[in-house]
A and B are shown apart, each in its own frame.
Chain A
Amino acid sequence: MSLEPALRRQLVALLGADWVRDDQVTRFSYRCDGLTLHPSLPAGVVFPGDHDQVVGVVKLLHAAGVSFLPRGAGTGLSGGAVPTTGAVIIELVRLNRIGPVNEIDRTIEVGPGVVNIQVSHAARAHGLYFVPDPSSQKACSVGGNVAENSGGPHTLKYGVTVNHILALDVVLPDGSAHRVGGESWASPGADLLALLIGSEGTLCIVTNIICRLTPLPPAVQTLLAVFNDVQQACEAVSAIIRAGIVPAALEMIDNTVIRAIEQTISAGFPTDAEAVLIIELEDIEAGITDELAAVRRILGQVGTHEIRVAEDEAARARIWRARKEAFGAIGALSPSFYTQDGVIPRGALPRVLARVNQIGRDHGLTIANVFHAGDGNLHPLILYDAHDPDQVAATHEVGRRILELCLAEGGTLSGEHGIGLEKNSLMDRVYSSTTLDHMAEVRAVFNPNARLNPGKMLPEPGKCGDIKSVAALRAKSGIQV
Chain B
Amino acid sequence: MSDARVFAPADTGSLLAWLRAGYAAKRPFWIAGQGDPHPDPAALQLDLSAFNQTLFFDPDDMVVGVGVGKKHLALQKELAAEGMGLPVNPWFDDDTVGSLVAKNRFGPERLYRGGVRDWVIGMTYATVDGRLIEVGGRVVKNVTGYDLARFMVGNRGELAVLLSVNFKLMPLPHQPEALLFRGPAEAWPRAVAALIKAHIPLDWAQVRLAAGTVRLGVGISGGTARRRSLKVSLEETTGAAWSAPEQSPDESLFHRLADGPALAGLTGAAPVHAYGRLATSVLLQQENYRQDCQVIHPIGADIHRFVANPSVLSANEPEAGVSWVLEQAPPDCAIRRLPAKTPEAVLHQKLKASFDPCGCLPSHFHGG
Contacts and interface: CB of A to CB of B under 8 A. Distances in A.
A238 interface: yes
B222 A445 contact: no
B229 interface: yes
A270 interface: no
Given A191-B117, A238-B60, A375 B351 contact: no
B201 interface: yes
Interface stretch (A13-21, A42-50, A319-327, A430-438): A430-438
B167 to A, nearest CB: 13
A180 B347 contact: yes
Contacts of A283: 201, 222, 226
A186 B141 contact: no
B354 interface: yes
A198 B143 CA distance: 7
A210 B294 CA distance: 29
B135 A431 contact: yes
Interface string A178-209: 11111111111111101101110001000000
Nearest to A376: B139
Interface size class of A (residues with CB under 8 A): 35 or more
B60 A347 contact: yes
B58 A345 contact: yes
A343 B142 contact: yes
A267 interface: no
B226 A189 contact: no
Nearest to B173: A244
B302 to A, nearest CB: 6
A466 interface: no
Contact of A104 (B143, B197, B354): B197
Contacts, number: 257
Interface string B79-100: 0000100000000000000000
Contact of B155 (A149, A189, A445): A189
B343 A411 contact: no
Contacts of A189: 154-156, 158, 338, 344, 348, 365
B185 to A, nearest CB: 23
A163 B140 CA distance: 13
B69 interface: no
Contact of B272 (A106, A284, A413): A106
A164 to B, nearest CB: 10
Contacts of B196: 104
B199 A215 contact: yes
Nearest to A243: B171
Say which size band chain B's interface belongs to. 35 or more
B361 to A, nearest CB: 12
A438 B337 CA distance: 29
Nearest to B136: A412
Nearest to B323: A188
Contact of A244 (B146, B172, B346, B350): B172
A155 interface: yes
Contacts of B273: 102, 104-105, 183
B104 interface: yes
A176 B354 CA distance: 19
A154 interface: no
Contacts of B59: 242
B219 interface: no
A188 B324 contact: yes
B147 A197 contact: yes
A376 B322 CA distance: 39
A195 B60 contact: no
From A127, A423, A445, A457, name the one whose CB has the most chain B CB atoms within 10 angstroms.
A445
B152 interface: yes
13 contacts: A148-B143, A185-B115, A187-B344, A238-B60, A242-B59, A246-B171, A284-B201, A343-B141, A347-B61, A377-B141, A415-B143, A417-B143, A431-B134
Interface of B: 58-63, 83, 104, 106, 110-111, 114-115, 117-118, 127, 131-135, 137-148, 150-156, 158-159, 170-172, 174, 196-197, 199, 201, 222-223, 225-226, 228-230, 233, 269-274, 300-302, 322-325, 337-338, 342-344, 346-348, 350-351, 354, 365
